[in-house]
Amino acid sequence: MRAVPADQLWWGRNTLAQKGQAPYSRGEVVVDPAGIRPGDVCGFGTFGKYSATIAIVGQPDGGRALSMRVTESTTTGPKTEVRVKAVPTHAARLWLRTEMDFTAETALLSYSEDGRRFTPLGGTVPLVYDWRTGTFQGVQFALSCFHPGSGGGVLDVDRFTLSR
């Protein structure tokens, strides 16, 4: 997945989405972050009224860090809150997981560097259906990769698994 020019998630035109399945569903991607360049923001999470993402962010020194961001879609435009700015990672592979609980109307995002032990990042986020400022399909899983300028890298996605 190539990093496209965009300032934030809502403007990234290459975002891949999959509808969340009620009452509970889990989406998980396995990625190789080696192609991420400084400035890239590539991740996995929710897409809707509140879009939450655990992103792999390319650092200025060439390293990588995990960030957790929540973007609220409003009538005046998107508003992004960075809940966790930077958790350094040197992993050759990363597992990114999003768990949606529609009965509790919340989602939880977590990551793993070994595919077995997952660490939640950024707390829960609301699952809200709002056709005026969200997406008319309801909350979706989203895989995204953007760069606020030109010259972005790539995120190699090994697989996406949807389970209930």
Domain span at 103: 4-163
Which pLDDT score is estimated for 123? 97
In total, how many domains does the chain have?
1
Region for residue 80 given its phi and psi (left: phi exceeds 0; alpha: psi -120 to 50; beta: otherwise): beta
Residue 26 CB: number of other CB atoms within 10 A? 17
CB 70 within 8 A of CB 50: yes
Pairing of strands 140-147, 16-19: antiparallel
Pairing of strands 24-32, 156-163: antiparallel
Which pLDDT score is estimated for 130? 62
- The per-residue pLDDT for range 111-134, each reduced to its tens digit, is 999 999 999 999 999 998 765 555
Amino acid in position 65: A
Decide which of 62 and 131 is more confident: 62
Average pLDDT along the chain: 91
What's the predicted TM-score (pTM) here? 0.92
Ranking 18-22, 67-71, 91-95, 132-136 by mean pLDDT, the lowest is: 132-136
What is the CATH number for 17? 2.60.120.200
CA dist 138 and 149 (Å) reads: 30
Q: Nearest Cα to 9, choosing from 88, 96, 70, 100? A: 70
* pLDDT of residue 72 exceeding 70: yes
